[in-house]
Chain A
């Protein structure tokens, strides 16, 4: 990049001096023309070169693995033995025929719903409180971010201890107030709730800060006008804050959808074997992929793992499309209401 610029400078420096003789002039003209061409290329190509590092990196770390996974999914492929026979779509057929795959899909969506919905609602409430005139603002704002700083593995270790079935803290407390212990690991819904709790613990504060930033951008005049019209705080929240947050809401919902469908750390660390429970109660799709490829129960079948990975990709694309449609609906709603 700098090289081409330097050459450019050099050309423009030599050009005025050489405008005397015949053949020299001709050469100079050609050199000027070349210089022009260079600078034209510079204008045309440079922007792409400037952003290319991202795309080159994406190509290496994103696109290539994606395509290569597609190739692997068509072969009988073992973790150590490597490439085997070409089997066409047999791996996909096998994965779709596995009960565990569908259980994993169910778990993924269930944990996603249990985490995303309360998370967004809680984050909105926290952001609204932080948006008020509190003392020691920065302290409170940084405070909600602390859980986000804690490593997910550490969070999982602490929570899986708290949610122990027989000797966990939470079941002990429930026992104190005379309630039956909950099978946090053995039952399907409680295990999902426990994992969702970990996810919420980590992400609620983060989302709250994003909402807070958006709330601060809302012109204060709106609130003043509303207050003069006699609107209560709650009415202001629902009629001013929420509608103004629409683009941010959409952003948070999309990012948490993608993150939620790929959830791995928390369920994997939820017990010591990391295989998702004896009846796959809390095994998510990403864990299923891991188990097939690397885990104890799968036997190192990369072909099966790759096929499952592609199926997850398809699921995310479908959910993404649904998101897109929903977003459009909200956006058009917005433009109608602003007229």
Chain B
């Protein structure tokens, strides 16, 4: 079902692109008709929360514009598609979504993207969010959609069975502290339960590194992951306790998805966009809850942007559309649908957002919790340069070999990691 829908979407996108080329040829140079009938395409991945109804609203506001959305399954797929077609010079949608982790890679070629800066959108986003989308020449090349402030999601039924508190305020008090404290409580938990403490070492690594500024690359673009004490300390800390605490699942693997519903572990780091994923994969499970707490303060994981490739036929119309999509009203709707927390300043403390609850998470006031977690995100955003994405992939692989596959010792796997990142230099 998913695939066929995607294929149709691709076919539609292809047809649209063809139609765009056709109309592009017929239009006379210079005179662009504001009421010309056009189709705008927007390409996203996972679930941005842009429903058909939401897109139809835009057509109501602009009767001459039809909007078509194509969705890639994962951010990796979207990246491969984006880079290939950006290099080829044609074939991209009018508005393309990008993820923060591979955004820097794209930023090198910002001349292939439309400058989106405009007085209308000045100050719309959190400062670190829009700073990361500004290129070396000061052009704003992307509009922020969501951010990933992290909380902790937990299974209250498993907590209860192990004699831990279940109320989300008490859990927040219990877990307040640094990472060692989080691991200590985990050791207490696993002593009394068959379940593991957390889902995957990969997500713990993401959680730790996203609290630091310089991790895998130095701010001048060198790969320093191999020598950076922050990285090796995180690696060793995590793997020292993972035999007891981890559910030995590889993030995004089939087993990982299956484990949402079978109670293999009690807690997981919960960036806002994870809420929709948990709910979608464990609809019948009762017991998932969310606590307003995060080890060692706050942290942001992921989050996305919308860009307008310069190759499109209607860059101005696309820019206006992207600005509309990332306006607070629309992002609020997306938050209610998927849990993707908005990056817009106006929404950070908006009453409409604070009152949002999710029945699945035991009626948790996710609006309030996530707003609190967003406020706790350190102002110094982690530096993510050109090679961040592949180096992070290699680091995740090194953890997987030890904790999930159990095919290498921590030392051997680290040595392999050093070799892998050498190949990227």
Question: Which of the segments A110-118, A162-170, A218-226, A246-254 contacts the partner chain?
Answer: A162-170
Provided the pairs A165-B255, A168-B254, A279-B401 are in contact, do residues A296 and B407 lie with their beta carbons within 8 angstroms?
no
Task: Give CA–CA (A185, B390) in the complex, Å.
Answer: 21
Q: Interface residues of A: mostly helix, strand, loop or mixed?
A: loop
B8 at the A interface (CB under 8 A): no
**B79: chain A residues within 8 A (beta carbon):** 296
Provided the pairs A81-B108, A81-B109 are in contact, do residues A300 and B404 lie with their beta carbons within 8 angstroms?
no
* CB of B86, distance to nearest CB on chain A (Å): 5
With most chain B CB atoms within 10 A of its CB, the pick from A166, A275, A295, A300 is A166
A85 at the B interface (CB under 8 A): no
With most chain B CB atoms within 10 A of its CB, the pick from A151, A154, A281, A294 is A294
With most chain A CB atoms within 10 A of its CB, the pick from B87, B258, B416 is B87
Q: Say yes or no: A279 contacts B253, CB within 8 Å.
A: no
Task: Tell me the A225-277 residues at the B interface (CB within 8 Å).
Answer: 271-275, 277
A98 at the B interface (CB under 8 A): yes
Q: Say yes or no: A186 contacts B408, CB within 8 Å.
A: no
Q: Say yes or no: A295 contacts B80, CB within 8 Å.
A: yes
**B262: chain A residues within 8 A (beta carbon):** 167
Task: Give CA–CA (A275, B106) in the complex, Å.
Answer: 21
Instruction: Give the residue of B84, B249, B255 whose beta carbon is less than 8 angstroms from that of A79.
Output: B84
* CB of A245, distance to nearest CB on chain B (Å): 38
1/0 contact string of B413-425 vs chain A (CB within 8 Å): 0001001100110
A161 at the B interface (CB under 8 A): yes
Provided the pairs A154-B3, A296-B393, A297-B394 are in contact, do residues A279 and B405 lie with their beta carbons within 8 angstroms?
yes
**B76: chain A residues within 8 A (beta carbon):** 273-274, 295-296
Q: Say yes or no: B390 contacts A299, CB within 8 Å.
A: yes
Q: Say yes or no: A80 contacts B83, CB within 8 Å.
A: yes
B72 at the A interface (CB under 8 A): no
Q: Say yes or no: A79 contacts B419, CB within 8 Å.
A: no
* CB of A49, distance to nearest CB on chain B (Å): 31
Task: Give CA–CA (A154, B6) in the complex, Å.
Answer: 14
Q: Say yes or no: A271 contacts B254, CB within 8 Å.
A: yes
**B109: chain A residues within 8 A (beta carbon):** 80-81
Q: Say yes or no: A167 contacts B258, CB within 8 Å.
A: yes
B400 at the A interface (CB under 8 A): yes
A153 at the B interface (CB under 8 A): yes
B168 at the A interface (CB under 8 A): no
Q: Say yes or no: A297 contacts B255, CB within 8 Å.
A: no
A70 at the B interface (CB under 8 A): no
B248 at the A interface (CB under 8 A): yes
Task: Tell me the A97-111 residues at the B interface (CB within 8 Å).
Answer: 98-100
For this complex, 23 residue pairs linking A to B, each with C-beta atoms less than 8 Å apart, are A79-B83, A80-B86, A80-B106, A80-B108, A81-B109, A98-B423, A100-B423, A151-B3, A164-B254, A164-B255, A165-B253, A165-B255, A166-B258, A186-B404, A186-B406, A187-B405, A271-B253, A278-B398, A278-B400, A294-B84, A295-B80, A296-B76, A300-B83
